[in-house]
């Protein structure tokens, strides 16, 4: 924790409150938070990272505070104790490091079924278990150097904004990105209740930001109570990815969580088809991004699909957020055949910094963020994906133009300096 009084108007102290997924797979929101922190720190600001739910272990996003709202004890309290306080001894048991590490191994569920009470409590911020945890969080902030602004990583933490305003009166910024993936999977009436509650609690947030214009429109439809949402594109440290090297053979890259929603099986089918016809000589496939226990059967099916061409598949079974640059420098093109409409593909932001074009379906924010730096295909099936990959990997002039466009977008839009400048300007508006 950095302490002290800062001189001058330029330097700010930002408390970034983030949720942790356990660091076992490529998490879009987690990476976005890491990029925000990195960009602001490079710009000379002090960023304090406060984790909720699970410990942070990645080098790119290290915690600066104790863990608050620990997932293990908070879930047990919400599920089994209702309006009664959970005994301290039991809470201490469930918050022990071994149990938190075990919970991290089982983290990453894409369905919120069974998590309705816990989710709504974090949004409404009004039951006994939330109040107890929020009090610990507020006491920690009150006893430390006061931040100029608090930034919540998702609207699903908006109950904290209310507590923050009631006690500390610090400006609050809240990010919006892919909340519907979780909230719309809530059981029955809970999904609508959650969206309505976010709208009601939005009065405690001073500014909302989205990672794309596409998701700004999604959030405006889902939460009509929010009148203004600013777009701040995430950006990376381009120097980290800028290397002269690259693969000697054409290599397709997939770097996201390995599951059905992210379409790794669609890519595998397209790859097998291209290999059978030798449409792209010496073609390779590089797969990374990690997976969790619930994805094991899916991953096994994809491996079986690729079995005839396994010598041409580079597969990483482990995931580390600290190895991203090496991955992107080992591919020719990034591909993500997502089955859902994503707010922002951060793997594209990274690939562009390395000068790697994208081949993605015409869904979500892809048309907005990719532009002319790749090929956008439709419909999202293996046949059309295969055709797009063949085109970009065999048409050298087109590939080189897409590569140039990718680097241009990276330097003009998806870089750390630009992101930090926009975030800092927004924060200053609130702190005046």
Q: What does the alpha-carbon distance between residue 383 and residue 18 come to, in Å, rounded to a whole number? A: 39
Q: Is the pTM of this model over 0.75?
A: yes
Spatial CA neighbour of 129 closest among 98, 169, 90, 187: 90
pLDDT at 4: 36
**What is the side-by-side order of every strand in the sheet holding 251-255?**
313-315, 284-288, 251-255, 333-335, 358-361, 374-377
Q: Nearest 5°: phi and psi at 327? A: -60, -50
Could you report the average pLDDT of every consecutive run of 10 residues in the chain (432 residues)? 41 91 64 89 94 76 86 86 85 79 58 79 93 94 91 96 89 94 88 96 97 96 93 93 85 96 97 97 96 91 97 88 87 97 94 97 97 98 98 98 97 94 95 84
Fold match, 13-235+416-431 / 238-412: yes
User: Which residues pair with residue 72 across a beta bridge?
Assistant: none
Q: Nearest 5°: phi and psi at 149? A: -150, 150
**Going by C-beta distance under 8 Å and a sequence separation of 6 or more, which residues neighbour residue 115?**
75, 109, 186
Provide the pairing of β-strand 284-288 with 251-255: parallel
Task: Kindly list the domain boundaries of the chain, sorted by start residue.
Answer: 13-235+416-431, 238-412
pLDDT at 83: 83
**Going by C-beta distance under 8 Å and a sequence separation of 6 or more, which residues neighbour residue 353?**
236, 238, 240, 241, 242, 328, 407, 410, 414, 415
| CATH architecture, range 13-235+416-431 | 3-Layer(aba) Sandwich (3.40)
Superfamily of domain 238-412: Glycogen Phosphorylase B; (3.40.50.2000)
pLDDT at 26: 59
Spatial CA neighbour of 308 closest among 275, 263, 281, 280: 275
Q: What does the alpha-carbon distance between residue 412 and residue 109 come to, in Å, rounded to a whole number? A: 35
Spatial CA neighbour of 178 closest among 344, 51, 24: 344
């Amino acid at each position: 924790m950095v302490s002290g009084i800062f001189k001058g108007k330029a330097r700010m102290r930002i408390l970034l409150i983030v949720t942790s997924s356990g660091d076992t797979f490529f998490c879009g929101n987690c990476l976005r938070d890491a990029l925000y922190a990195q960009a602001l720190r490079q710009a000379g600001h002090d960023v304090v990272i406060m984790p909720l739910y699970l410990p942070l272990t990645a080098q790119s996003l290290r915690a600066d505070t104790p863990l608050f709202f620990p997932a293990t004890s908070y879930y047990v309290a919400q599920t089994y104790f209702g309006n009664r306080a959970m005994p301290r001894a039991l809470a201490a048991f469930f918050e022990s490091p071994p149990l938190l590490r075990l919970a991290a191994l089982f983290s990453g569920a894409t369905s919120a079924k069974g998590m309705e009470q816990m989710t709504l409590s974090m949004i409404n911020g009004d039951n006994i278990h939330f109040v107890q945890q929020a009090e610990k969080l507020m006491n920690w902030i009150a006893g430390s150097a006061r931040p100029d602004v608090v930034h919540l990583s998702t609207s699903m933490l908006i109950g904290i904004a209310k507590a923050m305003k009631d006690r500390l009166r610090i400006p609050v910024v809240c990010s919006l990105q892919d909340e519907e993936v979780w909230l719309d999977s809530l059981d029955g009436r809970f999904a609508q209740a959650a969206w309505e509650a976010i709208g009601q609690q939005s009065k405690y947030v001073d500014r909302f930001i989205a990672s794309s214009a596409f998701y700004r429109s999604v959030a405006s439809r889902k939460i009509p109570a929010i009148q203004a949402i600013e777009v701040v594109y995430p950006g990376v440290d381009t120097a980290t990815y800028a290397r002269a090297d690259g693969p000697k053979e054409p290599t397709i890259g997939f770097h996201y969580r390995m599951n059905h929603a992210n379409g790794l099986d669609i890519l595998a089918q397209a790859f097998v088809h291209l290999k059978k016809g030798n449409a792209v000589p010496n073609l390779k496939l590089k797969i990374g991004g990690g997976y969790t226990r619930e994805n094991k059967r899916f991953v096994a099916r994809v491996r079986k699909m690729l079995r005839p061409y396994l010598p041409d598949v580079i597969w990483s079974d482990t995931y580390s957020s600290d190895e991203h640059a090496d991955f992107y420098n080992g591919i020719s093109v990034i591909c993500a055949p997502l089955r859902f409409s994503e707010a922002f593909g951060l793997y594209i932001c990274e690939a562009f910094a390395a000068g790697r074009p994208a081949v993605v379906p015409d869904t979500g924010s892809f048309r907005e963020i990719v532009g002319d730096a790749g090929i956008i295909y439709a419909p999202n099936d293996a046949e059309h994906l295969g055709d797009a990959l063949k085109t970009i990997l065999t048409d050298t002039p087109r590939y080189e133009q897409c590569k140039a466009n990718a680097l241009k977008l990276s330097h003009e839009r998806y870089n750390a300096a630009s992101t930090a400048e926009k975030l800092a300007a927004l924060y200053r508006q609130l702190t005046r």
